[in-house]
Chain A
Amino acid sequence: MRLLVVEDDRALAGQLAAALGAAGYAVDCAADGEEGHFLGDTEPYDAVVLDLGLPRLDGLTVLRRWRAGGRTMPVLILTARDRWHDKVEGIDAGADDYLAKPFRMEELLARLRALIRRARGHAAPELACGPVRLDTRSGRVSVDGTPVALSTQEFRVLSYLMHRQGEVVSRTELTEHIYAQDFDRDSNTIEVFVGRLRRKLGADVIETVRGRGYRLRPPEPAAGGADG
């Protein structure tokens, strides 16, 4: 999962990037509205954390432009403007959630998880695919109830496929969603991560669709978003 953080305060942006990175997300940061708008407009983010009081371009304007341009990624507004008037304006501009500063990092993480999950059509916080379970709250993965330890990149690949299970995901798309923008990308490494995941979770969990990409396929009978 790849996130965009648009925040002009360097210290806070640093804290956010660190906390989100620790939670398993690939994070891009933008320090002003114009850069934020450009990134959100061109890169496939799974969610955006957007400040409102931004230099160069106001956060609400950024959001409205994204929505007018057909960008549908979930957006969480994180701002010091905590009047209900501002919240109504933010939600009406197309935000999916609104969190006022100061905030608890845990709460921000919980809300982002819920946003990403909902955007992919999952109702429960725990994603399941056959014997494999991924708890989005804790980031724990288990197979048949046995915990499995995954590296950050492995977790990102699995998490993205779990959120999109049943669909074919190309290698390029996977690359875009597990690496931050300034990371030196190499789509060949995806094969390495998929291979390691197959070893840890079972060979038939991730299916290769020749020439198109990968698919996480639940065994028959399909067990969609069952919860624990």
Chain B
Amino acid sequence: MGESLSRRLLLGAVLWIAAALVLAGFGLTALFRQHVEAALEARLANDLDGLAAALEPGDGGAPALSRNLPDPLYERPYSGRYWQIEAAPAERLRSRSLWDAVLALPNDEPARGELHRHRIAGPAGQDLIAVERRVDLGAGAPVRITVAASRAELDPALADFARMLAASLGLLGLGLAGAAALQVRVGLQPLARLRAALAALRAGRTQRIEGVFPSEVAPLADDLNALVAHDQALVARARVQAADLAHGLKTPLAILANEAEGRDDRLAQAVRSQAAAMQRHVDRHLARARAASAAGLPGARADALDVARGLARTLAKLNRERMIAVDVEGGPAWFAGDREDLGEMLGNLMDNACKWARGRVLVRLAVAEGRLAVTVDDDGPGLAPAQREAAFARGARLDETVAGSGLGLAIARELAELYGGRVALDGAPLGGLRAVLNLPAAAAGGGA
């Protein structure tokens, strides 16, 4: 798997939400600071106007205040609120709060009536906002009136604002992240459905990808279906070719073998043995070629019970001279693979059982933990444990008196292994041999 698409989308969403919120936080804080500073400056300008109104030319031309500002903060030493009136470099009036300090104003010359703002250092290391105006008192030089306030005055309001802002932005962030997660989930749902449809196809419940998908995913589903159909067509064609090859080879083989029959010269012997060898090769490789093309094909599914019953019917009829009862027990069972291949595996095992049985063959189907297990028991002579493995050997016939090519068990095992299954031999409760065919099962139900 590696990277998850939804994790990627979610991570991206969270990142841009966080970045946007942090940026918004900084912007809003800066705006708010600007706003409160402007409000403070407006108050200071107001106080400055009060001072200017109360200023009178005093004795000897030095200005004097007719009344003090009403705000007591201008009286308390180092309170943060200060004013200063400067007529000449040595003639200053100062608020009581300044105590013995002097506001160090930059040397500029604002035009008359113009309001200047400054950031200056105040007493006790305070950071001050100051507003300054030149006022003409009529006689002598204009006076510089300055009113200042400590920026620390704004700190509680700024901190409050920052706290509230952080809380609300955090909540907003959580909400947005949740919404993003929901969107990713809803947005990717067609992919989840596609995955489920693919799983159904692989498990053999459906033959193609079923369902309606949005326009972004639909081409993918269509392509997958086309691919599956192409595979199925390829397999079908391979089967037809295999069947054609079988027909094409087997009739000449039959003719050759028949011509050699009843003669005993060297040519006849060679024809007989070579025809038999060719037949074995054809049987074996056709079976393998067909199964190899079908094993692993998605969507394949076969009704094992139906296949077993068909074989039981057929074998009972083919062996009716010997009156063999072939019974099938078990409920519905599905094989995750090709029906004809299942027929080949089970047919060979059941045929072998019928050859050796005295009167009864019992086939039992069971499904457990995704595996289909078919046991084929007979009441014949059975095989000693030491002989069982040898029975699978290529072309092995442990008893030459019973007809057959001897390939049945070997073909059944090879096919089973192509499907990731196996065939094992054991003793049967009926007294003879038990063959156990273990294969991948397909889920029951759904379209057949």
Contacts and interface: CB of A to CB of B under 8 A. Distances in A.
A85 B343 contact: yes
Contact of A102 (B257, B343, B347): B257
Interface string A90-110: 011000111011111111000
Interface string B386-406: 000000000000000001000
A88 B253 CA distance: 24
B317 A91 contact: yes
B313 interface: yes
A84 interface: yes
A98 to B, nearest CB: 6
B54 interface: no
B253 A102 contact: yes
Contacts of B66: none
A97 B247 contact: no
Contacts of A169: none
A12 B251 CA distance: 7
Contact of A84 (B247, B346, B403): B346
B254 A103 contact: yes
Interface in A110-158: 114, 118
Nearest to B290: A83
B348 interface: yes
Interface in B336-357: 339-340, 343-344, 346-348, 351
A87 interface: yes
A88 B311 contact: yes
A12 B318 contact: no
Measured as residues with beta carbon below 8 angstroms from the partner, the interface class of chain B is 20 to 34
A103 to B, nearest CB: 6
A11 B403 CA distance: 26
B258 interface: yes
A23 interface: no
A82 B251 contact: no
B314 A88 contact: yes
A102 B261 contact: no
Contacts of A96: 317
Interface string B276-297: 0001000100000000000000
Contacts of A97: 318
A106 B261 CA distance: 9
A31 to B, nearest CB: 13
Contacts of A103: 254, 257
Query: Main SS of the interface on chain B?
Result: helix
Interface in B197-224: none
Interface string B178-205: 0000000000000000000000000000
Contacts of A15: 255, 258-259
Interface string A76-90: 000011111101100
A82 B290 CA distance: 13
A173 interface: no
A107 B254 contact: no
Given A80-B250, A85-B344, A97-B318, A104 B261 contact: yes
A107 B313 contact: no
Given A84-B343, A84-B348, A91-B313, A9 B246 contact: no
A205 interface: no
Contacts of A81: 243, 246-247
A19 interface: yes
A92 B310 contact: yes
Contacts of B348: 84
A115 to B, nearest CB: 10
Nearest to B346: A84
Most buried by B among A87, A97, A103: A87
Interface string B234-274: 00000000010011011101111111010000000000000
CB-CB nearest 9 A-B residue pairs: A84-B347, A80-B250, A102-B254, A88-B310, A102-B253, A101-B250, A80-B247, A85-B343, A85-B340
Interface of B: 243, 246-247, 249-251, 253-259, 261, 275, 279, 283, 310-311, 313-314, 317-318, 320-321, 339-340, 343-344, 346-348, 351, 403
5 contacts: A12-B255, A80-B246, A84-B340, A84-B343, A107-B403
Given A12-B251, A96-B317, A102-B250, 10 more contacts: A82-B283, A84-B344, A85-B343, A87-B318, A88-B343, A91-B318, A92-B314, A101-B250, A101-B251, A101-B253
Interface of A: 9, 11-12, 15, 19, 53, 80-85, 87-88, 91-92, 96-98, 100-107, 114, 118
